[in-house]
A and B are shown apart, each in its own frame.
Chain A
Amino acid sequence: MPERARRLRPARFDDLGLRRALGDRMLPLLVAAMAFLAALALAGSAGAAALVRHWQEGAAAALTVQVPAPGDAAAGGTGTRLDAVLALLRAVPGIGDAHALSSAELGALLRPWLGDAAGDPALPLPAVIAVRMAAAAPDLTALGARLGAAAPGTLVESQGVWVERLTRLARSLQACAWLVLAVVAGVAAAVVAVGTRAGLAARREAIEIVHGLGATDGYVARRFARRTTALAALGALLGTLAALPVLAALAVMVAPFAGKPDAATVPAELALGLPALPVIAALIGWLTAQATVRRWLRRLP
């Protein structure tokens, strides 16, 4: 019976007069501002996460090995020190590729610092081996010791340390973004609560009449919640849409850092998070109004 009754009830039946008591300007506007901030925070979080992923995939899996005096004979006897180190590296499980930079590559790398002298064959430059890890990084201290035994003075440098620091920074930024989201959600709930209270105060008499006619707390709360849910969803939709051009501009600026200089792609967090904002705002609107109205109604017998 209630199902049928609801279906047949005139759609515009507004017994508590909430269309005027809960106006369609202020609440959506404030929620729109909240959603705008939430969209930016979400983009910040997603952007930081994307950078972390990119760095970890790329640079964390790389090692640099420097071999001074590469042409000298190795400690073990046969071959040069460079050959010995390369042979050792290639034998380590988990190392995908070890490639000694040619003197031309090295010269190009150093030219900004050394100028034309970088190409001078008389300059005692160490050999640089770029190592790509296929699996997890091996124990760098042990590796360094073994390479040092074959060619004393060999340095193993992991770029992972830098990536780790950058990652930590990015993760902190991400945590800040989540904190902003939590605060924004809290403020949105407060805005809905204040709006609902104002509506309750404005419609006190109507609520008392309806209550006296046998309306349950759920009946009254549902009417308020339906209104705030719609207003909050509308506001969040507007706020999210308003954030889109800003996010697009940011995405274009961020793209080169994420290793995609030409195409700005949307991270999955953002693709899912942005459409979720109006839904979450609606949920906040519904829950807050329900809680506020039910609490208020306890003053009636």
Chain B
Amino acid sequence: MVRLEGVSLQYGSGRRAGPAVLHELDLTIPEGGFRWLRGPSGAGKTSLLRLLNLTVRPTRGRLVVLGSEIGGATRAELPPLRQRIGMVFQDFRLLPHLSAFDNVALPLRIAGRPEGQVRADVTEMLRWVGLSRRSDARPAALSGGEQQRVAIARAVVGRPSLLLADEPTGNLDDTQAERLMLLLKEMNRLGATVVVATHNEALVARHPGPAIRLESGRLRDDA
């Protein structure tokens, strides 16, 4: 479950504090819920995803992610929560010196899963995103779409309870985008809470669902 109560976010602190990027957000996403995250560029979609991904802490307000209050959590309490969150970044954020296989395996290895299970899960995941033959390639040798699929595989391979995606179809053709939506919906059906930020109107039209709409860091409505 995700809940925000009067959450504001401001980057930096003290005299170096920047302007607030999110203002007084109140919203709730039930466990196993699906939300589109929509709004023009600069509305704060990425900042909200960073909050939900526990990359930043709220400046003000109460944030509950996966049942844990984030504002009061110690640093040591966050890693186990992060291991239950999968995130597809707009810029992929793959490790350039690792193969596609090792990039996808990373969350499992960090979580200390047995290597046998890592091999089986990663192989299956790469097959699903159609990259079985590219598993030894470094990100630099992959096309934008292939890198995006590696990023998606890495976000999903650990069967996260909360799945976040920032423009996940930006570099995918329509067929791949459809496959991705099927994957996200399947994860959602299996119980994961899913939040997808997108500009892709056609995609939203094909897969209607409740949306969080942001504008200038404020909530327009929580439909």
Contacts and interface: CB of A to CB of B under 8 A. Distances in A.
A4 interface: yes
Interface stretch (B37-45, B110-118, B126-134, B177-185): B110-118
Name the residue among B98, B102, B114, B154 with the largest chain A CB count within 10 angstroms. Answer: B114
B79 A216 contact: yes
B95 interface: yes
Contacts of A2: 112
Given A8-B114, A8-B115, A15-B95, A213 B56 contact: no
Contact of B115 (A5, A17, A213): A5
Contacts of B116: 8
Contacts of A90: none
Interface of B: 53-57, 75-76, 78-85, 87, 93, 95, 97-98, 102, 106-107, 109-116, 118, 154
Contacts of A83: none
Contacts of A301: 54-57, 75, 78
B110 A215 contact: yes
- Which has the most chain B C-beta neighbours within 10 Å: A5, A13, A14, A211? A5
Interface string A188-230: 0000000000000000011001111111110100000000000
A1 interface: yes
B112 A214 contact: no
B102 A213 contact: no
25 contacts: A1-B112, A4-B115, A8-B114, A8-B116, A9-B109, A15-B106, A17-B97, A20-B97, A206-B97, A209-B95, A210-B110, A211-B82, A213-B106, A213-B154, A214-B79, A214-B80, A214-B82, A214-B110, A214-B111, A215-B79, A217-B75, A217-B76, A298-B75, A301-B54, A301-B57
B95 A5 contact: no
